Structures are given as C-alpha cells and as structure tokens.
Amino acid sequence: MKKVILSICLTVVFFSCKKSTDDTSAQPNSEQTIIDVAYATSSPQQKMDVYLPANRGSSTYPILMIHGGGWSGGDKADFTTDITTLKGLLGRDYAIFNINYRLANGT
C-alpha cells in the first residue's frame, strides 16, 4: 500500500510541474487527459486516468478519486461521466486523478 501511495504522489508531482522558459510568447499549458497510466506493475488493474487543467503551475492541487466497492468490485469508469461536472465545479486549479486498484478477489 505504501508503494501505491508513493507512486501516486510522485505522479502528481511529475504531472503538475511546469517547465520554466525565458520565451514570454510561449503558449500556456493546454488541458490534457491521459488515460490508463500505469502506477504499478504488480497488477494490470493499477491504472489511472489523469485530467490536467490548462495553465497549471505551482497553485495546481491534486484531487484523487477512488471508486468504492469494498476492494471487491467497481471501476474508475464509474466516475468517467462525472469528470466534466467535477472540473466545472472545481475550476482551473485542480488536477484530477481517477484510479483503479487491485481488487481483493483478484479480478
């Protein structure tokens, strides 16, 4: 479990960093959606969808969405339809990480 949390934290840091540039005419970060990013190698279920806001930087905060199911069922796809609504409610300062996890029954 510690490895999962560490992997998620490192991913948040990696994706929320902004490259510094001296060119003031550079375009701001565009909104990005990255689907099925593996955060561990021990199970094919350990993947997440990453929704990064436009103009992200040091004031961007992560939101971690974990589906319910008591470790025996459910899927990150259960939240997919709610992502657009959530992005609208939260505004531009939030990156959303919607994760799957290894289920207890091994499926």
Q: What is the pLDDT of residues 34-46, one digit of tens each?
A: 999 999 988 888 9
- pLDDT reported for residue 47: 95
pLDDT tier for residue 49 given thresholds of 50, 70 and 90:
very high
Mean residue pLDDT across the chain: 80
- pLDDT reported for residue 97: 95
- The residue assigned the tokens 């069922």 is 73
- pLDDT reported for residue 25: 42
In the numeric block, which tokens belong to residue 85?
A: 């609504």
- Which of 16, 14, 20 is CA-nearest to residue 92? 16
Mean pLDDT across 96-100: 94
Residues 6+ apart with CB under 8 A from 85: none
